[in-house]
Chains A and B, each alone.
Chain A
Amino acid sequence: MTNLQNTSLKAKIKRPKDKCLYFLIYFCAALTVVLLAGIIIYVVVRGIGQVNWEFLTTVTSVLQGTVGIAGNIVNTLMIVIITMLIVTPVGVGAAIYLNEYAKPGKLVTAIEFATETLSGIPSIIFGLFGMMFFGQTLGLGYSILTGSLTLVLMVLPLVTRNTQEALKTVPDSYRHGAVGLGAGKWYTIRTILLPSAMPGIITGVILAIGRIVGESAALLFTAGSAKLLPKSFMGIFEKIFQSGGTLTNQLYLSATSEGDFETAFGIAVVLLILVLLINFGTKRLSAKFDLTRKK
């Protein structure tokens, strides 16, 4: 009896319009998943045949008959490392100031406004600015350093924001406890707050790395497109001041002006793998972070 009533009630509630909307909702959610799956499968099917040891360890050369992206891998790595070396201390420092030192006022409002604005500026504008300011005004030209400095500005909000969030989750009792024991503010930050906030900070850093690996527009006019490997160990340091195209920009050039879609898909596979790894990395970290917070 109750069963019957239930079904009749359900039938009344599920009007045709409802069914339609249910269908649309499921359809859109499915679309998102299918899109992602389609992108991954298509790229892997088209590109995986291209990815082999030679592709990853040599440089494209007509003379030696090799097709490879080793130079672009090195350039990408260098840009990631240099950018993160600069942006991590600056971003963490800014977050520490905003969270631990600053009192609400005009300066804080201005800093928050600026950070917010920076995160809304599109990468092509960063590219233009980097080209003009770092490249021409500071005379660094098309170089890995110019590209890195440009990216520092671009990912600064990401690092600052994540560190701020992480610092906010550190309980105030830690701060009071440390001060009560006679520790100075900086001492507290260095020994108590930063270690507690470390997982959140690292998450921000990894997210920033992901952003850099996928970035192209900001680097096109700042880091250039050279793809040769540094000739010697010392060459790596010279390379900082020389042009260097990242994986993304080589993909762009391969697909457009060079018309070499094999290489483009090969790079796309490498990029996808990197991006997936970075994503899982942040996922695992933030899961771990939540766990320690709950304790």
Chain B
Amino acid sequence: MNRKAKKNPVEITAKNIVRICAVIAIFAVCSITIYMIAEGTPALAKVGVPELLFGTEWMPTAENPSYGILYIILSSIVGTALSVAIGVPIALLTAVFLTDIANKKLAAVVQPAVELLAAIPSVIYGLLGMMILNPLMYKLEKIIFAGSETHQFTGGSNMLSAIIVLAIMILPTVVNVSVSSIKAVSNNLRGASLALGASKIQTIFKVVLPAAKSGILTGVVLGIGRALGEAMAINMVAGGSVNLPLPFNSVRFLTTQLVSEMSYAEGLHREVLFTVGLVLFVFIMIINLILQRMRKRAVEND
């Protein structure tokens, strides 16, 4: 029977075709990696690694152009870290609400809301950030820096706006992953804790969340990846100059640098932008590897 099936040409072709389909993913990852490295490294050699990665002057179109991307890298790191610091606690408490606090009716309102937040295109977040956050920030800016002569007024397009937009955008990711890991915590644990006289809140924060720790951490790392890779929304709200990542400075991130300059960059400028892409890619790959290791460990622990 088995042998007959193996000889059937249709069966063999089908198997080979689906195998090719599966291998396409490997080809894709390999060629993306090769392209990013091949396009991103020449500028490193031409400009010099320290000048490029640790230089603070970004003047690609000047007569004596300088291509320092340190502030861009720092902005991405600071922006991601702060948006995660704001977004994760909110997401975690929302997840707790969904799993342990809400009755079915309330959960039926909050759960779809989280899903829809994830579905809203990033340009819409950007548009709303431009219309709502930026004017608000401009008012704050005028109050805080009234009389300051050194501050460059940005009209509200600043780091803080970008951080808020990012914090909202990573919410659904962190909520969803946390919900599934909190749901996986055995009800026996909850029961035992309640029976020992702990209150519901104590049970949640001292028993349930620690038990779901690894899953929640996975969610946080996923959120970091999302925040680091987001481009369009923050490009619309963060302003357009390369600056130190201070809250009221107009800043450029690794991603927004690509979005806003790729269309007109030429020559070495363009090559440097590919190096910016490579830096982003390296960050993302590191996060990916951490994630996969975490998932593997979670599977092994089960």
Chain B 104-115 per-residue mask, 1 if CB under 8 angstroms from chain A, else 0: 001001101111
**Do most interface residues of chain B lie in helix, strand or loop, or is the interface mixed?**
helix
In this complex, which of A131, A182, A249, A264 has the most chain B Cβ atoms within 10 angstroms of its Cβ? A264
Q: A39-B120, A125-B280 are in contact. Are A221 and B28 (CB under 8 A)?
A: no
A252 partner residues in chain B, CB cutoff 8 A? 123, 126, 232, 236
In contact, B225 and A120 (Cβ under 8 angstroms) = yes
In this complex, which of A15, A29, A189, A248 has the most chain B Cβ atoms within 10 angstroms of its Cβ? A29
In contact, B11 and A186 (Cβ under 8 angstroms) = yes
B55 at the interface (CB under 8 A from A): no
B288 partner residues in chain A, CB cutoff 8 A? 116-117, 120-121
In contact, A261 and B131 (Cβ under 8 angstroms) = yes
B128 at the interface (CB under 8 A from A): yes
In contact, A111 and B26 (Cβ under 8 angstroms) = yes
Chain A 93-125 per-residue mask, 1 if CB under 8 angstroms from chain B, else 0: 110111001100001001101111110111111
B11 partner residues in chain A, CB cutoff 8 A? 184-187
Q: A18-B199, A121-B284, A255-B236 are in contact. Are A268 and B124 (CB under 8 A)?
A: yes
Name the residue on B nearest A268 (C-beta): B124
B258 at the interface (CB under 8 A from A): yes
Q: How far is the CB of A292 from chain B (nearest CB, A)?
A: 22
Chain B 230-242 per-residue mask, 1 if CB under 8 angstroms from chain A, else 0: 1110001000000
Q: How large is the interface on A (under 10, 10 to 19, 20 to 34, 35 or more residues)?
A: 35 or more
In contact, B128 and A186 (Cβ under 8 angstroms) = no
Binds B, one of A66-74, A169-177, A196-204, A273-281: A273-281
In contact, A116 and B292 (Cβ under 8 angstroms) = yes
A43 at the interface (CB under 8 A from B): yes
B285 partner residues in chain A, CB cutoff 8 A? 117
A25 partner residues in chain B, CB cutoff 8 A? 93-94, 96-97, 101
A79 to B255, CA, bound (A): 23
A272 at the interface (CB under 8 A from B): yes
In contact, A39 and B119 (Cβ under 8 angstroms) = no
A244 at the interface (CB under 8 A from B): no
A143 partner residues in chain B, CB cutoff 8 A? none
In contact, B199 and A93 (Cβ under 8 angstroms) = no
Q: Which of A24, A101, A120, A248 contacts B287 (CB 8 A)?
A: A120
Q: How far is the CB of B100 from chain A (nearest CB, A)?
A: 9
A210 partner residues in chain B, CB cutoff 8 A? 119
B115 partner residues in chain A, CB cutoff 8 A? 279
CB-based A-B contact count at 8 angstroms: 259
A251 partner residues in chain B, CB cutoff 8 A? 121, 123-124, 127
Q: A122-B228, A186-B10 are in contact. Are A160 and B128 (CB under 8 A)?
A: no
Name the residue on B nearest A271 (C-beta): B121
In contact, B97 and A271 (Cβ under 8 angstroms) = no
Q: How large is the interface on B (under 10, 10 to 19, 20 to 34, 35 or more residues)?
A: 35 or more
In contact, A125 and B284 (Cβ under 8 angstroms) = yes
Name the residue on A nearest B277 (C-beta): A128
A1 at the interface (CB under 8 A from B): no
- A144-174 CB contacts (< 8 Å) to partner B: 153, 156-157, 160
Q: Which of A96, A216, A221 contacts B123 (CB 8 A)?
A: A216
A129 to B106, CA, bound (A): 44
In contact, B119 and A94 (Cβ under 8 angstroms) = no
Q: A185-B5, A268-B127 are in contact. Are A156 and B97 (CB under 8 A)?
A: no
16 A-B residue pairs with Cβ-Cβ distance under 8 Å, sorted by A, are A17-B201, A18-B200, A18-B202, A22-B201, A32-B114, A36-B116, A42-B128, A43-B128, A111-B22, A118-B25, A122-B229, A122-B280, A160-B25, A189-B14, A255-B126, A264-B127
The 5 closest A-B pairs by CB, nearest first: A122-B229, A93-B21, A214-B121, A28-B93, A186-B14
Contacts from B to A (Cβ < 8 Å):
1, 5, 8, 10-11, 14-15, 17-26, 28-32, 35-36, 39, 89-91, 93-94, 96-98, 101-102, 106, 109-110, 112-117, 119-128, 130-132, 168, 171, 175, 199-202, 205, 225-226, 228-232, 236, 255, 258-259, 262-263, 274, 277, 280-281, 284-285, 287-288, 291-292
Contacts from A to B (Cβ < 8 Å):
13-15, 17-18, 21-22, 24-29, 31-33, 35-37, 39, 42-43, 46, 89-94, 96-98, 101-102, 107, 110-111, 113-118, 120-129, 131-133, 153, 156-157, 160, 182, 184-187, 189, 210, 213-217, 220-221, 248-249, 251-252, 255-256, 261, 264-265, 268, 271-272, 275-276, 278-279, 283
Starting from the known contacts A25-B97, A272-B124, A276-B116, 18 additional A-B residue pairs (CB-CB under 8 Å) come to A26-B97, A36-B116, A42-B131, A89-B21, A114-B29, A122-B230, A124-B229, A125-B229, A125-B284, A186-B11, A214-B119, A216-B232, A251-B127, A252-B232, A255-B236, A268-B123, A271-B121, A271-B124
